[in-house]
Amino acid sequence: MITTRSSVDAAVNIADLRRLARKRAHKMVFDYIDGGAEDEQTLRRNSAAFAGHRLIHKVLTGVDHVDPSITLLGECLPVPFILSPAAGNRLFHIEGERAVAKAANDIGTVYSLSTLSSVSIEDVAKLTAAPKWFQLYVWKDRALVKKMLDRAKGAGFTALILTADFPIAGQRERDIRNGFTIPPTVGPKQLIEAMRRPAWSWDYLRSEKIRYANISEDTSAVSLSDFVAEQLHTGFNWDDAQWVLDAWGGPALLKGVMHPADAQRARNMGFAAVAISNHGGRQLDGEAAPLDVLPAIRHSVGPDFPLILDGGVRRGSDVLKALLIGANAVSFARPYLYGLAAAGFHGVQRALNILSEELKLSMALAGLVDLKTLSPDMLIRPSGGVPKSRKAYNDG
């Protein structure tokens, strides 16, 4: 099936975009985006955690104007969500990271570029005037890390995201079964699947070679497993994180934090924010959902420290729930990656518009005109309890 713009426009929600992505993309590519580690318990739990929380609306608040804007790390953003970093986007669709950066620019929110992007730091930087953050996986060779940080800074990336939940790669069983690598290895199995997905295959054949655009000059690693084996610093620890903070010398977020003590330590050592995340269920299986640990992390870092929640967000009402529980913003990857795999730029744009419109609708129906003063008594937690306010978490 060739996904047309009109079928993407007709997508009503993120689940529709997921279905379109599955129809257009090669199976191994769809599974790489969609899948998680081992039994995918963490993956499922991330979304299910949202369903377990129940909103309570207020009435007669006058919702003719609903404003979902927020301020995050000094940036005024029109929506309370940002785009999580994701590797190798040109494999999903020929337009790759370029499409995602342009769609982020159009909606005016933060684009996060992965270390393992398939378009270079400098090329992506030109495509969005909205704030852009650079995500770092830490290599063994500090000189190479420093070089990459300097490139990101020079290209106008204003904050650094240090990903800490990837000391080694999780076991993604769909990828193992599919024989998936970046760049792809093409054997009989992949060829048969490629014939079933002509639009994706045509793109792949005419695309410039898929490669890790930021690191290819500096490493002989050509696949993710090579990269992990050759360059990933598995011994990475808090001292190294301090070194990264000093080397960057600007605002930095620690991504992949799930334990309250780690969030507190990150705040104390000078990180500007923490991204509560389990890598979208792609690393440790059997883990709690980010939403489950948000109250304890809010309690540990106090009311004012910025927290971004990432993992399982698929609806505007999910965004609202995370903010009511104490996040300052959310971020996501699969929603926009489904859009990308379905239809390139228009698909990403559709994903961001769907979430933005759903959020505004949820706010109006909940009786909220803005996100400045959120009353935690508008939500019931799975235990049946109403969460405490951001301030109350701090007070205990």
Ligand X SMILES: Cc1cc2nc3c(=O)[nH]c(=O)nc-3n(C[C@H](O)[C@H](O)[C@H](O)COP(=O)(O)O)c2cc1C
Question: Smallest gap, in angstroms, from Cβ of residue 348 to ligand X?
Answer: 14
Q: Could you tell me which stretch among 150-158, 185-193, 232-240, 326-334 binds ligand X (CB under 6 A)?
A: 326-334
**Pattern of binders to ligand X over 177-216, x per CB under 6 A?**
----------------------------------------
Chosen residue from 118, 135, 231, 389 binding ligand X by CB under 6 A: 135
Between 329 and 368, CB nearer to ligand X = 329
346 is catalytic: no
- The CB density around residue 183, as the number of other CB atoms within 10 Å, is 17
CB-based contact 91:191 (threshold 8 Å) = no
Q: Which residue number has the CB closest to ligand X? A: 280
Chosen residue from 42, 109, 118, 163 binding ligand X by CB under 6 A: 163
Cα–Cα distance for residue pair 348/318, rounded to 1 Å:
19
Chosen residue from 25, 72, 152, 313 binding ligand X by CB under 6 A: 313
311 makes contact with ligand X (CB under 6 A): yes
Q: Output the CA angle 102-104-108, nearest 5 degrees.
A: 115
Between 88 and 376, CB nearer to ligand X = 88
CB-based contact 155:125 (threshold 8 Å) = yes
For ligand X (CB under 6 A), the number of binding residues is 23
332 makes contact with ligand X (CB under 6 A): yes
Q: Could you tell me which stretch among 174-182, 226-234, 309-317, 377-385 binds ligand X (CB under 6 A)?
A: 309-317
Q: Output the CA angle 209-19-355, nearest 5 degrees.
A: 95
236 makes contact with ligand X (CB under 6 A): no
33 makes contact with ligand X (CB under 6 A): yes
Question: Smallest gap, in angstroms, from Cβ of residue 313 to ligand X?
Answer: 6
**What CA–CA distances, in Å, run from 392 to 182, 295, 302?**
46, 10, 9
**Pattern of binders to ligand X over 60-89, x per CB under 6 A?**
------------------------xxxx--
Among 53, 279, 299, 346, the one annotated catalytic: 279
Cα–Cα distance for residue pair 189/24, rounded to 1 Å:
17
Chosen residue from 184, 280, 306, 316 binding ligand X by CB under 6 A: 280
347 makes contact with ligand X (CB under 6 A): no
Question: Smallest gap, in angstroms, from Cβ of residue 165 to ligand X?
Answer: 8
**What CA–CA distances, in Å, run from 327 to 89, 294, 303, 350?**
27, 7, 10, 24
Cβ contacts of 163 within 8 Å, gap of 6 or more: 85, 135, 136, 137, 255, 256, 279
Burial class (CB in 10 A: 0-12, 13-18, 19+), 363: buried
Q: Output the CA angle 168-275-354, nearest 5 degrees.
A: 110
* 3-class SS letters over 220-239: CCCCHHHHHHHCECCCCCHH
170 makes contact with ligand X (CB under 6 A): no
| Residues assigned a catalytic role | 279
- Residue numbers at the binding site for ligand X (CB under 6 A): 32-33, 46, 84-87, 114, 116, 135, 163, 255, 277, 279-280, 310-313, 332-334, 337
